[in-house]
Amino acid sequence: MAKTFDITVFTTDSRFIAVAISQFFCAISYCCWIVFLIPNAESKGLDAETASLLALANGGSNALGRIGAGIVSWRCSPDPFIFFSFLSLMTAAASLGNVFASNFWQLSIAAGLAGFSGGFKVVFANFLCKEATTDNLFPAGLTWTMSIFGLGEILGECVTGALYDHTSSYAPGFIFLCVADVLSALIIILPFVIRLCRYGQTWSSGTRFTKPFSNDK
């Protein structure tokens, strides 16, 4: 148990802190899209049967996103930090678009985009953890990121539900999800930007810098 929750994973590579915080914000939107997708559609005038089709769009695109993550990592080997940031912005766009969507097809596009990027991010979270930890600490890194992800899900549901209770509208909740994903994108890319600005260096795929904020190049 001590090795599973080894806290040294937070000090071995500063990027892991960014990964953990980013996963927290990512979880907020990931879970809330699942929970509030159908109620939000019904509040916009869709009947229960039609609204349930949005869950199919979201879940199906989520599966495609997971498959796509495997294909992309196999064929392209993109920088997981940059790619995850892009995916978070994609989810943020879906949440914001959902606020202004007014018919089934607009809601379907938002649900599909959120599901696809969410599925991609679930897989890429493992790559982030792998890049930001040593091989020995990788299991501990996964334990911490998944635990923090779970906390984010709980908080996201509570806040989004509270916003609905106070406003009787899901719009503030989805704006909150948009902000959470933007924060996730900014936080995960922060170590990359700091390294680039300070040293003119970036991380190539498969290369670890144990102390990205240090003076060691």
Tell me the per-residue pLDDT of 187-196, one tens digit each, with 9 for 90 and over.
Answer: 999 877 877 7
Q: Provide the pLDDT confidence category of residue 141 given band limits of 50, 70 and 90.
A: very high
∠118-87-210 over CA atoms, to 5°? 105
Q: Which CATH number fits domain 14-199: 1.10.600.10, 1.20.1250.20, 1.10.3080.10, 1.20.1440.120?
A: 1.20.1250.20
Q: In Å, what is the CA distance from 147 to each residue of 62, 111, 141, 213?
A: 21, 26, 10, 25
Is residue 83 within 8 A of residue 65, CB to CB? The reply is no
Q: Does position 209 have pLDDT exceeding 50, yes or no?
A: no
Is residue 37 within 8 A of residue 58, CB to CB? The reply is yes
Give per-residue pLDDT as tens, 72-112. Answer: 888 877 788 888 999 999 999 999 999 999 899 999 999 99
Average pLDDT score, the chain = 87
CA distance 56 to 108: 9
- The pLDDT value recorded for residue 28 is 95
pLDDT top residue among 216 and 36: 36
Q: What pTM did the predictor assign?
A: 0.85
What is the arithmetic mean of pLDDT over 172-187?
96
Q: Does position 61 have pLDDT exceeding 50, yes or no?
A: yes
